[in-house]
Amino acid sequence: MRCRGLGAAAREGGRAACEGKRAAWEGERAGREGERGAAVIEFVVVFMALVVPLVYAVVVMAEVQRALLAVSTAAREVGRVYVTAATEAEAQHRVEVAYQEVMGNFGYLPGDPRAHVAVRVDCGADAPQCTGGFGPGAEVTVRVTYRVPVARVPFIGAVAGPDLPIGATHHTRVDRYRGVGSSTGQGPVMRAGGP
């Protein structure tokens, strides 16, 4: 090994300085060999610190999107089946069936404590045939909510922790010209050209 860059000490025959430089270079080389594999460890640590939270956020956002689709579809369907029912008892039964069916289609179990449906029916002053919250002209408001759990453990599921409340509201009105007691909600069928 040639000693370069020693300046005046090398020119004056400073063999000791050259040997000192060689020893320092070999010491650095030994130190670098002791760190062999450190880049892999650093990469794994940085990867885990950045990617795992990103994947977790994507999973939570997917759950939020699923809940959004479920509650909006359930609210719309519950409102539709309520206004097309022939009787109030049938309407209540159809509401429960439609709600459970739609939420089940999105993977939510019946009786899930995080899910809730509320149906409010009002008879306005301009709906004289509407009695007791049911009949032509009744205004139906359906509110479906679901609390999406944020704290999750892989392969176990939701654990105690904060929830994101997701909700949808659907307003509809029973057709004013619909015949009450008709199972199809269309009233008597009139045909052109006679009976």
Residue with tokens 């509320």: 118
**Whole-number pLDDT of residue 93:** 94
Q: Which of 149, 81, 139 is nearest to 115 (CA)?
A: 149
Identify the residue whose tokens are 């459970």: 100
What local confidence, expressed as pLDDT, does residue 194 receive? 37
**Is residue 102, in this structure, part of any structural domain at all?**
yes
Asked whether residue 8 is assigned to any structural domain, the reply reads no
Helices 38-83 and 88-105: crossing angle, nearest 10°?
160
In a domain, 188, yes or no: no
Residues 4-32 have pLDDT tens digits of 555 555 555 566 666 666 666 666 665 56
Residue 107 in domain: yes
Whole-model pTM: value is 0.66
Structure token pair of residue 112 = 């899930």
Q: Which pLDDT score is estimated for 95?
A: 93
- Please check whether residue 186 lies inside any domain of the structure: no
Residue 65 lies in a domain: yes
56 assigned to some structural domain: yes
Strand partners, 131: 134
- What is the model's pLDDT at position 30? 59
So what's the pLDDT on residue 138? 83
Question: Which range of residues forms the domain containing residue 77?
Answer: 38-173
Q: What percent of the chain clears pLDDT 90, i.e. is strictly above it?
A: 32
Give a yes or no: residue 165 inside a domain: yes
Q: pLDDT for 70-109, tens place per residue?
A: 999 999 999 999 988 888 889 899 999 999 999 999 999 9
Mean pLDDT of 170-179: 80
Count up the domains in the chain and report the number: 1
